[in-house]
Structure 1
Amino acid sequence: MGVRPRRSRECSKTRPGASKCDGHFLTAGLVAATFLVLLGVSLLHLPEPVALDPATAVREVTLLIWTHPFGRKRPLPDCLARYGVDGCVLTDEPRAYPHADGVLVHHRDVASGGAELPPEATRPPGQKWIWINYESPSHTPALWRLEELFNVTMSYRADSDVFLPYGYLVQKHGDGQPLSEPSRTSRPRLVAWVVSNWVESQARVAFYYHLSQYIQVDVFGRAGRSIPEGLGSVVRLVRRYHFYLALENSQHTDYITEKLWNAVLAGAVPVVLGPTRKNYERFLPPEAFIHVDDFPSVEALAGYLLALSRDPARLIGHLRWRTGFGLRQPTFWGEHYCTACKALRKTMGQTQVVRDLTQWFES
């Protein structure tokens, strides 16, 4: 999965009182459920919950939300009541900085100049800085400014210190939305695409232009028609279609966003443009999606979609896997805060430094 950020084997000498490090930081345990082995295909496993160190098990930790993502302030959740995460206190009050155990910094806000970094000169001993980012490398500027400042990474990448993807499969009766049983009922429409950020230079726009030469693609969102009144959501809209174009705005390791999971939840077959097929197969069984790279040409892909729409028995082959599974889509941003705080509590006393942040994230 590319190059992991190299960690210092000793704590930063510039931080008085920093304790000796002990290997890599633990990845946060999200829920008791993990990805499963499905139809003989090993899917990506979410990390198992890790027992707390008895020395810190009774201690609460304070996580300071230094920057609300994209400058939009939201109420902070009660981690225990909302997500079952105990021992975590969230605050967004800057005056808490001197005694906070961790500080969560959203990349875009400091990189764009909308906020300053925390004052490193007065950084308390042992305090962890957590770098959080859910944009792709193509939309993550000025990483070089943040080298050797952070102790923990949190993102959609599976090799982050704290890994929380845009979505993941769980057992049907677990903590997730059950996926509907596959149906042979014909849907009235063929292909939909919902897109809000239309950029002519993006690969997904070029793909759309090419595909639309061969089949009808209904485009919705700010770049197309409005979602019909009464439907109210992308998922309800996509339930009318056989296929949904889950086209990422850029192609990078593990960058698989809600576009894919909206299609899965709606029961449409996602046609994906993003990382490699092998990367997608870490999140879904191989028959659960159609990758644009599976075909020698866009014309051949269009022909395959038309053939499936006319043959329900073949189409259901892309949907049968759904039986017995549910979908978890973490809630932005409260669940991310509580997950970060949970990881912070599990790694008390460890203060490593993330090196080569740019090389890792852009790999």
Structure 2
Amino acid sequence: MGVKMYKVIICLVLLFSGIFLFLLFFARNLEEVEMELHNKYVHSVQKISNTKKVILMYNHMNHKHYPILDGYCLDTFGRKSQSRCPYSCLFTDDKTVLEFAHAVVFSSRDLKNNQEDNDLPSSRSTNNNQRWVLLSMESPIRPKQDGITGVVQENDLDLRAFNNTFNWTMSYRHDSDIRKTKLVAWISSDCYLERSGSSFLVAQLQNLIPVDVYGKCGKFQCNQRSSERCLDLKSCYKEIASRYKFFLALENSLCEDYVTETFFYALEFGMVPVVYGKANYSELAVPGSFINVMDFVSVRDLAFYLKHLSTHPDEYKAFFNWRRNYFVTTSFHLDIAWCSLCSKLWEVDAFDSLNNASNALTSVPGRFKNQISISPLKTVGLEELEKWSAATAFISKVCDSPPNFVLNTSSTYTFPVARTKQSSVLTGSQRNEF
């Protein structure tokens, strides 16, 4: 080997050694920078936790090839999802802030029977106010499907493995911990119709039970933090549905077969519509999914019935039995769900402790600042969480389309002929009796 070639080799060795040392130094510096930035982030979260509720999304909701927050329809600071929520929360998937989180959300879709495969926290935070939340937005009997391969797996999750694990449940079920606290809502934008039959009915109901009126003619509005009225009507209905059990779907014009869109919105977003009109509602929706004013002799009887249902959750839940076989085509919006969770973290001031995960549906009532409590559902009678799983009926993802009932099974449903019931609730001879 010549001297010239030897020098070339030496130069190449020195060059590559220099590059290696530079990259090693750069990598170490980069690691230090990343660590410093991460420490700053953790410190900022710790600081923010004094003014915001920190919600940690611990596992994937659907597909692991997506970022965790994307699967939950969230960005890190909740700007997109929580822009209209009256409470302030920070959403994160950074597990290193577990110690400062006020709530830790676990999606049931990503849980496994073997605890060792779940990568759950080895121990709870020393923060005694931290809640562990079981999220189940779909039926537990719905098979799991990979978003890329399309492979379908049977959902064989045994919920007994998670007894003594969770404090709250968050689901589509009406007996979930994150649920409604108000009774009746109505939207009215036609103030010149204030002498109409529907307005008269509302006025009579307000003398007997709480009825909150939204719209131009009401005292309430969607998005209370905004100075503007709710411009997106459908979004307004979704917001109302997150808080109210019943919605007045009343027709200002009693015309044959005329049905306002409010009837469908109430069904779509999980309220029991109270209808008043001349349409045959049993031909439009499954009987038992709505309450017809014309079926009551007086407004007082109607008010008593609504109050009765409000205090008898088993009977109230029966109005959603149709969801076992049907669903209304609409969009499922998680923003309302996240706002509900965020709100409850702010409002509740007592730590709920569950001895058994099955008690997630019959938990100790959470006390609110306004002294309203969420009462346990004593009539549910669920002994184990897996029975809650078995009790859930068929439910399907839904998508945007005109209001419509879709059958989940291959069987057909024949709508019975609605009984014609004579009533004088709002006719002249009876109005003076209320």
Higher helix residue share: 2
TM-score clears 0.5? no
Q: TM-score, structure 2 length as denominator? A: 0.35
Structure-1-length-normalised TM-score = 0.41
Structure with max Cα Rg:
2
Higher RCO, 1 vs 2 (CA within 8 Å, ≥6 residues apart): 1
